[in-house]
Amino acid sequence: METANDSAQSSFVLLGFSDQPRLERVLFVVILITYLLTLLGNTTIILVSRLDPQLHTPMYFFLTHLSFLDLCFTTTSIPQLLYNLSRQDKTISYAGCAVQLCLFLGLGTVECLLLAVMAYDRFIAVCKPLHYMVIMNPRLCLVLVSMAWGCGAANSVVMPSITLHLPRCGHNRLNHFLCELPALIRIACINTAAVEATVFVLSVIIVLMPLILILISYGCIVRAVLQVRSASRIKKVFNTCGSHLTVISLFYGNIIYMYMQPGNSSSQNQGKFLTLFYSSVSPLLNPLIYTLRNKDVKGALRKLLLHDRKVGKG
């Protein structure tokens, strides 16, 4: 059984998609393009939300944080994946693996909570529109976002500490493209039933509790809309909440499948592609969803582009 010192001096091999070299070449091109578009899309959302005074509202304050979060989230794994796809050596140091795992879990926790905060914001906007700006004041918005980031920071310490110190007996080959929790549990050389149970309980708290709050918020929104029974009102609410519901469906669909089950029960290849989806595709889709479905964002973006053209001509 290896000691903590042995563990600290070791490295890991991220097997990723090394058994499919042709797929690696295709993935490198696709993921590189996806990553660059993700950087562009989320940076655009942040700039538009900050530069347009009409978007200085709680909804776009939270959207800015979501876009920043997506930038951080995808950057924790995609550059390392691109590096590994382009070369034969796929090793990562123990310290690098620990940092990647901490950031990945911490940022994932923040996103769970931030989506719940955004659902609460939509609930207040739809159910209490006259008091919206009073309730969702800047101080409360800052407190809610700070709590989300604080919980993420706490989880980035708790869950990795449970996993990183498991004895591996010399095993260091992870059948994944990043240092991910189930993959690390699988290479442990002891019975991991207790660890898996602990991870499952923590996942219930981190994933399901915010999801319950989201469902309660949208349950109240649906009830309020049905009481009014106005076609224009329903359309307005759908435009307000549709983008957020789409993002929630994409994010939670993957997270629940990945983490709300024992570490050894899912298909490892399927798990890799699901992780790839929510670490690269979801952060790309989020700004597209909010831009294509949101008239305010499209209008602000159009104004900025027209202004830049006028300045350029002048």
Give pLDDT tens digits for 95-139: 888 999 999 899 989 999 999 999 999 899 888 888 999 999 999
Sketch out the chain's domains with CATH numbers. Answer: 4-313 (1.20.1070.10)
pLDDT of residue 282: 83
Instruction: State how far the alpha carbon of 34 is from the alpha carbons of 29, 38, 98, 219, in Å.
Output: 9, 6, 25, 35
How far apart, in whole angstroms, are the C-alpha atoms of residue 86 and residue 280? 17
Instruction: State how far the alpha carbon of 304 is from the alpha carbons of 52, 152, 254, 310, in Å.
Output: 8, 34, 35, 10
* Token pair of 304 as six digits: 């900025």
pLDDT of residue 294: 67
Measured over all CA atoms, what is the biggest interatomic distance in the chain, rounded to whole angstroms? 72
Spatial neighbors of 211 by CB under 8 A, at least 6 apart, are: 112, 116, 252, 256
Task: Report pTM.
Answer: 0.84
Beta bridge partners of 11: 93
How far apart, in whole angstroms, are the C-alpha atoms of residue 110 and residue 72? 11
Beta carbons of 168 and 188 less than 8 angstroms apart: yes
Spatial neighbors of 108 by CB under 8 A, at least 6 apart, are: 73, 152, 255
DSSP strand E in 113-192: where?
173-174
Spatial neighbors of 92 by CB under 8 A, at least 6 apart, are: 11, 12, 13, 14, 80, 100, 179
How far apart, in whole angstroms, are the C-alpha atoms of residue 192 and residue 204? 18
pLDDT of residue 24: 84
> Considering Cα of 72, then 73, then 75, then 80, what sign does the dihedral take?
positive
Per-10-residue mean pLDDT of the chain, 314 residues long, equals 48 83 88 93 88 85 92 91 86 89 92 92 89 93 95 91 83 85 85 86 86 90 79 71 80 70 53 79 81 69 65 52
